[in-house]
Structure 1
Amino acid sequence: MKIGIGSTNPAKIKAAQPFLEFFKDAELVSYNAASLVSEQPFSDEETKIGAINRAQDCVAQGAAIGLGFEGGVMEMEEGIYLSNWGAAADKQGNVFTAAGARILLPAPITEGLRKGIVLGKLMSEWTNDPEIRKKDGAIGVFTSGMLSRGEMFLHISTMLLGQYVYMKNNR
């Protein structure tokens, strides 16, 4: 069985692990899947749609199950929060979604976001690490390394797998 991940980002690829452990015969294939949302999703809804689009694109490209993970931000009264969504889709047309951890971003980051600069670029400048989004990401930086981007998406993936298994076992 082919499980598709709609990204080449190592943090997101790592998140597919629960599906590979559950489906012992599964092969993971990384697809260049389109999110069809802005480069910097700026709401929960847009971030969620990006994850769904990536998952469905994997299925359209031949995966039995497609996984999509999307990072974004969302504005609330007190400031801008990090937002993360995941989706799992299959050939039968089922789609499952789950959201991850949220953290209030510091003022210098939110100022840059409001000026139209994407979070990945802001975090690269903040940390002097152009590859930060492929490693710990903003969540890792602003939790002092206590939660990495990969771990956050892994949590989302586990919720997606749980929903998928429940649906398959309770039809």
Structure 2
Amino acid sequence: MKIVIGSLRQPKIEAVKNVFAKIQKVFLQDEPVKFLARESESNISAMPLSIKQLMNGAYNRVQNLKEEFIHSPDKPDFYVGLEGGFFGEVSSEQKRRYFLQSWVFVNDGERGYFGASGAAPVPERIVNEVLEGKNELGDIIDKYGTESSIRDKDGAFGVFTQGLITRQDSFEFALLSAFAPFFNQALYVS
């Protein structure tokens, strides 16, 4: 089994590996799994600000990976695209609220499914810095964490939840959701 991951970020890679460790017994019957991490462009803005952009980013990463392997004799069994960012809404009090969420798209070459994490509210001052300064969350969040390069560790989820939910955790939830139609085919395939 060969899995291609459209990211070089460690929390994303580890999330894919952990999810496969969880589903391997029910889905793969202990078949050995080889993971390949590749940089793959999302073809969206560096800081997604809507669910549509998050979904498109994850989907585009998979499409770019598929294009890379189109002539390969050893095609991957799964392509995985991962994207994190914000989505916003306006409350009944006309107050804008934004949430942090992770999205993934998983494709086996024919079928593809999306999955999403839970959504954490983003502090207003961080929303303002992203929206008004047009900066990426990864660049801003380092000011609020205890370490630098937060995106390669616990991520904004970790900063917002004081480590109770990490970036990796958020992607694991999204991945389990996206892989469900593959490992629970009796329910999803008609």
Decide which of 117, 122, 144 is 1:100's aligned counterpart: 117
Measured on the aligned residues, the alpha-carbon RMSD in Å equals 1.8
Structure 2 contact 115–176 (Cα < 8 Å) conserved: no
The alpha-carbon deviation at position 129 of structure 1 amounts to 3.0
- Gap runs ≥5 in structure 2: 70-75, 91-95
Of residues 60, 73, 80 in structure 1, which corresponds to 2:86?
73
TM-score by length of 2: 0.82
The yes-or-no answer on 1:50 pairing with 2:57 is yes
1:108 shift after superposition = 1.3
Which residue number corresponds to residue 87 of structure 1? 105
For 1:32 and 1:81, the matched residues in 2 are separated by: 26
1:59 and 1:166, CA in 2 relative to 1: closer, same or farther beyond 3 A? Answer: farther
**Offset of residue 144 of structure 1:** 1.3
Residues 54 and 168 from structure 1, CA distance in 2 versus in 1: closer, same or farther, beyond 3 angstroms? farther
User: What's the % identity of the aligned pairs?
Assistant: 26
Q: How many Å apart are 1:74 and its aligned residue?
A: 1.0
TM-score norm. by structure 1 comes to 0.91
Aligned length: 170
Q: Counterparts of 1:18-167 in structure 2 under 5 Å? A: 18-19=19-20, 22=24, 23=28, 24-62=31-69, 63-77=76-90, 78-92=96-110, 94-115=111-132, 116-127=134-145, 129-167=147-185
Q: Distance in 2 between matches of 1:109 and 1:54?
A: 26
| Cα deviation 1:83-117 (Å, max 9, x = unaligned) | 2111101222x110011111111121011011111
> Structure 1: where are the runs of 5+ without partners?
none
Asked whether the 8 Å contact 2:116–2:173 carries over to 1, the reply is no
